[in-house]
Amino acid sequence: MSNKISVITVVYNDVGHIQETMESFFSQTWEDKEYIVIDGGSTDGTYDAIKKYSHKLAYCCSEKDNGMYDALNKGISKANGDWIIVLNSGDVFAEPDSLKNAISLSKPNEADVIYGNSIAIGEKGEKFEQASDNYQLLSQGPIYRHGSSLIRTDAQRKFLYDLSKVHKIHYALDWDMIYRVYRAGYRFQKVNTTIEKYRVEGMSNHVYRNIWYNYKVISNYKFNIKIFLISIRKMLKIAFYRSFLYPTIKAIGTELMINDILPIIPFWTWRRFYLKMIGLKIGKQSFIMKRTYFMAAWRVNIGDYTHINQGCLIDARAGLTIGNNVSISHNVKIVTGSHDVQNKNFKAIWNSTHIDDYVWLGVGCTILPGVHIGKGAVVAAGAVVTKNVEPYSIVGGIPAKEIGKRSTDLDYKCIWNEPLT
């Protein structure tokens, strides 16, 4: 089944950002794609910047429209792909493999909407945003960023942006569209990868107003006590996060507990209870030994029969998925955050990491951001993995390179005689 992706960018007077957005599309490693750019009649040179790439575009135009959602509907009408994703001017894909990961890490034949994580770019730098695994929570409000999702073209054309509601919910028409798709029974599928980076400015920065508009969409513009209380709770939660109390409570409740107290608690059942309470997902018969240190443990998703040995550093700030029957040896470091050493501002780089079933990570190896380790692969002791590892391959060295192959008929469970610790 074809998985051609149509990327749509709408823009108006944004000459300072449009080139970066377009270059982000051209850097994508997924080959079966097309790019549609709709300009709203810019007067600042934006369209001149677009025309430099006209030979690489499936369609582009510059004409007055009735706002960004009218322009998006226009772009949808020109799409020839199987999937549509919106990349607003000023936003970029999180990494060159963003589109590739969205398709390869999902089951496209079983989904109508594929969504993933995002990174917000604000005045204080970049902030990772984890999308919910439970798409049923769409009944209570947005669970992912619109720009971090692909929707089947036939579904998108059936549920265009409803311009008749623009005066009621203004810039929440994208959420209105998503909610109508959800209510119609279409299939949503989460992939644990980061798809886009978006700028927190303009429409994206009106947090409380967004919650109010989201409430209006879900309640069908009528009073609904349940949804109203959920919305109030969200506003209070955001107010708390922005208060002076939050950093202190966070330091005590997460940093101190997870990395100073939890690693020395002698009983696994106690450690497991706390980790699951703060959001870490872990399957049956999986086990984490003492003196394992976490960064953002609530963004870790571990399958069944997987074991993590002592002294490991698990950095999941950009999301980490570990499959079934994975063996992680002593002192392994898994990292999802880094920096661009050539950037004048030492810009942070965030990429989620994926470790498939039956992987063995040898003692003291390091897994760097954005790496996908394929099923059955082995990483030798002390190796530094900087790029994806093919299934059933054995890699070693710095940087890690393939040094052998592993049997493909693996059929075992990592069952330990579980110790007390």
Tokens of 278: 């703060």
Q: Calculate the alpha carbon distances from 189 to 103, 186, 206, 334 in Å.
A: 11, 10, 27, 25
Residue with tokens 């059955």: 376
Tokens of 249: 């409570």
Peptide bond preceding 399: is omega within 30 degrees of 0, i.e. cis?
yes
Do 324 and 343 form a contact (C-beta atoms < 8 A)? no
Rounded to an integer, what distance in angstroms lies between the CA atom of residue 186 and that of residue 57?
30
Rounded to an integer, what distance in angstroms lies between the CA atom of residue 98 and that of residue 60?
23
Q: Is 315 left (phi over 0), alpha (psi -120 to 50) or beta?
A: beta
Q: Which amino acid is at 297?
A: A
Do 286 and 418 form a contact (C-beta atoms < 8 A)? no
Rounded to an integer, what distance in angstroms lies between the CA atom of residue 298 and that of residue 113?
24
Instruction: Check 55, 339, 354, 372 and give the catalytic one.
Output: 339
Rounded to an integer, what distance in angstroms lies between the CA atom of residue 360 and that of residue 277?
27
Do 195 and 148 form a contact (C-beta atoms < 8 A)? yes
Q: Which amino acid is at 139?
A: S
339 is catalytic: yes
Q: In terms of DSSP bridges, do strands 149-152 and 83-86 run parallel, antiparallel, or are they unpaired?
A: antiparallel
Active-site positions? 339
